[in-house]
Structure formats: structure tokens, C-alpha cells
Amino acid sequence: MTEVIEPAIETVTIDVVLSALADPVRLTLVRAFDAAGDWACGSDVVRSTGVTIGKSTLSHHIKVLRDAGLIRTRVDGVRRLVMLRYDDVERRFPGLLALLRGDGRAAT
């Protein structure tokens, strides 16, 4: 099997999504996956962000994001590739991804 179970986007609530995005590490992950654009190895991505966490912690965050319907996981040999569910997320929560990558970060 090369696919990992993920919730149907219709069953995902905005409440769960907000809880998932509330954590700074997960928010960084989502932005990094968004910057990657397509399938990327979670370990490589987190390494590129400069965030230092254990692999068990990363596995935990990946699971939370997957349960929140934000990402999709595929098995590729010994490693797992992750990708944002662009279409699903945009259809169910229009404008959400734009808010995350928007300029609502720095202050003026």
C-alpha cells in the first residue's frame, strides 16, 4: 500500500483546523510544505526550517495535520512523503491558505 488514511475533507471542521494551526511548529510546517509546492519528505522539510525537534515529535505533528485534513502522506520506500491538500483545503476553507502565507506575519 502506498497511501496513508486521511479524513474526507467534508468531515473536517474549522475548529479542528484552527487547533491544528495554533501550534507554532505546525504552522511552520504548513508554510514549509506550502513553499515546497509538491511532495516532500517531512524530515527534510523540518530540517530546512531550522526547527529542531525529535523524530517522534515530528511524527506527532504530521499526524495532527493529517487528521485536520491539511496534508496528505504517501509512502515511498523507507520514507514518507508529505504534500498539502491544496484543492481540498481551498474548496472547504476558501482563503485559508492565503491567510497563512499572507503578510499577516510581520508588523509595521
Is 59 or 90 the residue whose CB approaches DNA more closely? Answer: 59
Binding site for DNA (CB under 7 A): 19, 22-23, 25, 41-43, 52-64, 73, 77-80
Residue 81 Cβ vs DNA, minimum distance, rounded to whole Å: 8
Applying CB under 8 A, what is the total number of residues that bind its own copies? 27
Chosen from its own copies, DNA, none, partner binding at 50 (C-beta under 5 to 8 Å by type)? none
In the list DNA, its own copies, none, the entry touching 98 (Cβ below 5 to 8 angstroms by class) is its own copies
- Under the binding rule (CB under 8 A), the answer on residue 77 touching its own copies is no
Residue 35 contact among DNA, its own copies, none, beta carbon within 5 to 8 Å by kind: none
Residue 106: alpha-carbon gap to chain centroid: 21
Please give, one letter per residue, the 3-state secondary structure of the chain. Answer: CCECCCCCHHHCCHHHHHHHHCCHHHHHHHHHHHHHCCCEEHHHHHHHHCCCCCHHHHHHHHHHHHHCCCEEEEEECCEEEEEECHHHHHHHCCCHHHHHHCCCCCCC
